[in-house]
Structure 1
């Protein structure tokens, strides 16, 4: 009798059998593809401002100045700055990235150390994004996903002295560990992410919820562990590693916020520090006001605001597609939480595209669609065109736009 071979639908995540570690050629292809698209952005920056000017801006603009000062002087030694709405203090910035910069500065000048840590983190993030996508949808989708992350509108920040690349690296590998049910590793990576950016709460929520699902009641089949003579019965299998992962996940973020509260002498000290930046969660009210202003205002608007609005709307559509294509709960919940924070934030509308950089799961519907095309020409052409557009906007964000990218 002839054997009938079947294949899973391209959009369906492969969960039935564990995948072997991705072959080295696929990993190399993902990292080289990511470096290629980011090289386009670097060349545009060098063309606009020269090598020294580009490096100076990437290592010293806006938040990068704060991270460098914290790396050099610590929190206590970094002087606050008077702003229009209060006193800007270094406690608004999480410690993981400046600590790594401080360590790298033992071997490199401070600016070079800040950029070296950011670029190393961006490669780790691209690798992690590849690993997640390859595990769910195959190696080709993983390679495309890593390149897509490098052509996002705010991808220039991935090579700047900002913490987004480091956070995305921790987040991608935490999700990968959760998909493999390595809960302790996932929890530790979540804790590290929570020491990198406040978005760590979104990651902790997703990984913690996925870990706790492992503790939910299961049904044992006939003859299985816990099954009675009448057949399947409910059983509860408590995995101590899942419980440990859920408990570890929020420790980094909660720990730093608690430490800031202790330093400020009040339980809501971190929120009060953020008041100077007018950063708070207003459930999307400010976002709606900004969108209405873009549509109705007669005066010219900044390109960054248009890009932010387009990125937010695209992210909502991609989240719906991710849900329809049944992404694993840990990935879907993480993407939804990051998007909710970006939509609900009250400050810096033009930075919303940057806030969405860690939401790599939203790229997977696009990655799988491109990976299904026959041949390599179509993905290569589209990614190349996207790299040029991203590079042009990156040059605008670094050298033209007056606010933070």
Structure 2
């Protein structure tokens, strides 16, 4: 609190002491902006952010322990770099794209050993490159993006929860279930989940309020980050149709086409470099076996990978998690349809279709982070059945720790 706000006069400086430097205009402006930001946050928002920051601390403790207790070599005498645990798997692809571009030195899918980087949409790498101009360390830049985006996402999620479940008055319970979910470590790493949710959840809030232009613009930004943005666009379109039937927001129809523009622009760019309009999809097929298979074929192949001893135990455990996540997703879609939440059901069902028609399942547990109806529904269930909260936390906590350790130590985690 400033002295001026108290109505008290400042105490004159003690004789012999140096006169305090007057506050500059820039400092006053910055302070006023910070005060306005705090005023915008409700007490419920601050509780949500406090929980968010505490869970970030717990993940950093886990990362610190992982680099000391599980080094790369048995005879290692020094822990790895502080940020190294977070620079794993897809984070390296985003770094390479941000640093070198999609086709450095005219390399591409025609070169042997190509890393299929065009499978990743450009939104996160572009932002990473921009933040890197301020934060020199690439890993730190990615972590900063996820830290800020995650804060926006949990605030939006808590507000969504209040609209779905009035009993969760501050949205804290939904946020707790979300932040302690088994794959929550990916919200902290330099991955796309936090950034996507920071755009998708406010977009859905805007759509619920029939602010179609805002919803479409945010959804369009989400499609630059992940193809899941197109699933969100479909859900927004379904919500628009249902709202139009009741006579609300009919003028917003032209905005519904906006989210298709970024993927079209990206496909055009890839076509100019490769001659292939679907280069991003074909890169996924080459690198991650995401060529089309029937749902029952994908289930069978994943089941065999999980239980037939064809993979090392670590990989087999991840395929088992894929199967469980698919079952959870199907149950969620069924419940959403039963409760006439058709737009949300479309969003989750399209995600399951995209991930469940590959050679085998990949990244479905991580995709659960994007299914906000799941976390809101679990919170609602725990309010009706108080024992469920204890059961959930007892199961989610060890699973989250195991997935975090698998990722932070360089073992595959989906």
TM superposition score normalised by structure 2: 0.77
Higher mean alpha-carbon deviation, 78-87 vs 178-187, is at 78-87
- Matching residue of 1:246: 256
Could you tell me how far apart the structure 2 residues matched to 1:295 and 1:198 are? 27
Contact 1:322 1:365 in 2 (8 A): no
Residue equivalent to 2:160: 132
Mapped contact 2:157–2:372 kept (Cα < 8 A) = yes
Structure 1 residues 210 and 251: CA distance shift in structure 2, 3 A: farther
Which deviates more, 362-371 or 74-83? 74-83
Deviation at 1:294, TM superposition (A): 5.3
Quick one: higher RCO (CA 8 Å, sep 6+), 1 or 2?
1
How far is 1:76 from its partner?
Answer: 3.6
Aligned to 1:28: 46
Q: After superposition, give the CA deviation of every residue in 1:355-392 in whole Å (9 maximum; x if it has no partner).
A: 33212222222111123466xx9747854763343123
CA RMSD for the aligned pairs? 3.1
Residue 115 in structure 1 maps to residue 127 in structure 2: no
Alignment of 1:66-77 (within 5 A): 66-77=93-104
Q: Unpaired segments of 5 or more residues in structure 2?
A: 1-39, 69-78
The CA distance in 1 between the partners of 2:263 and 2:242, in whole Å, is 22
Q: Which residue of 2 aligns with 1:173?
A: 202
Partner residue, 2:34: none
1:282-321: CA deviation from partner (whole Å, max 9, x where unpaired): 3424531234315752566422122222122122222222
Q: Please give the per-residue CA displacement for 1:31-72, whole angstroms capped at 9, x wherever unaligned.
A: 3223333433332221121485462131x2121112112222
- Whether the 8 Å CA contact 2:322–2:364 is kept in 1: the answer is yes
| C-alpha contact 1:282 1:346 (8 A) present in aligned 2 | yes
1:249-292 Cα distance to aligned partner (Å, 9 max, x none): 32222332233223322333333333321323434245312343
Measure the CA separation in 1 of the matches of 2:108 and 2:269: 21
Work out whether residues 236 and 343 of structure 2, in 8 Å CA contact, stay in contact via their aligned partners in 1: yes
Aligned ranges 1:232-311 → 2 under 5 Å? 239-240=250-251, 242-277=252-287, 278-293=289-304, 297-298=308-309, 301=313, 302-311=316-325
**How many residues matched?**
360
- Measured in 2, the distance between the counterparts of 1:31 and 1:283 equals 42
8 Å Cα contact 1:304/1:397 also seen in 2: no
Q: Distance in 1 between the 2:215 and 2:105 partners?
A: 33
1:152–1:287 Cα change, 3 Å: farther
Instruction: For residue 23 of structure 1, report the CA deviation from its aligned partner.
Output: 7.4
Q: Distance in 2 between matches of 1:274 and 1:393?
A: 23
Q: Distance between the aligned counterparts of 2:234 and 2:336, measured in 1?
A: 18
- Aligned partners of 1:298 and 1:65: how far apart in 2? 29
Question: The residue matched to 2:363 in structure 1 has which SS?
Answer: helix
Task: Please identify the structure whose Cα radius of gyration is greater.
Answer: 2
Query: Matched residues in 1 for 2:104 and 2:285: separation?
Result: 21
Q: Among residues 174, 179, 183, which one is paired with 1:150 in the alignment?
A: 179
- Per the TM alignment, residue 334 of structure 1 is displaced from its structure 2 partner at its CA by 1.3
Stretch of structure 1 that moved more, 28-37 or 195-204: 28-37
Q: Residue 353 of structure 2 corresponds to which residue in structure 1?
A: 340
5 Å-filtered alignment, 1:313-352, equals 313-327=327-341, 329-346=342-359, 349-352=361-364
- Aligned match of 1:360: 372
Does structure 2 conserve the Cα–Cα contact (< 8 Å) formed by 1:208 and 1:245?
A: no
C-alpha distance in 2 between matches for 1:97 and 1:246: 23
The answer as to whether partners of 1:190 and 1:203 remain within 8 angstroms in 2 is yes
TM-score (norm 1): 0.78
Q: Would the alpha carbon gap of residues 92 and 361 (structure 1) be closer, same or farther in structure 2, given more than 3 Å must change?
A: same
Determine the structure 2 residue equivalent to 1:4: none
Distance 1:52 1:119, change over 3 A: farther
State the partner residue of 2:92. Answer: 65
Displacement, 1:330?
2.6
Aligned to 1:39: 57
Q: Does 1:99 align with 2:126?
A: yes
Shift of residue 118, structure 1, vs aligned partner: 1.4
Equivalent position of 1:16 in the other structure: none
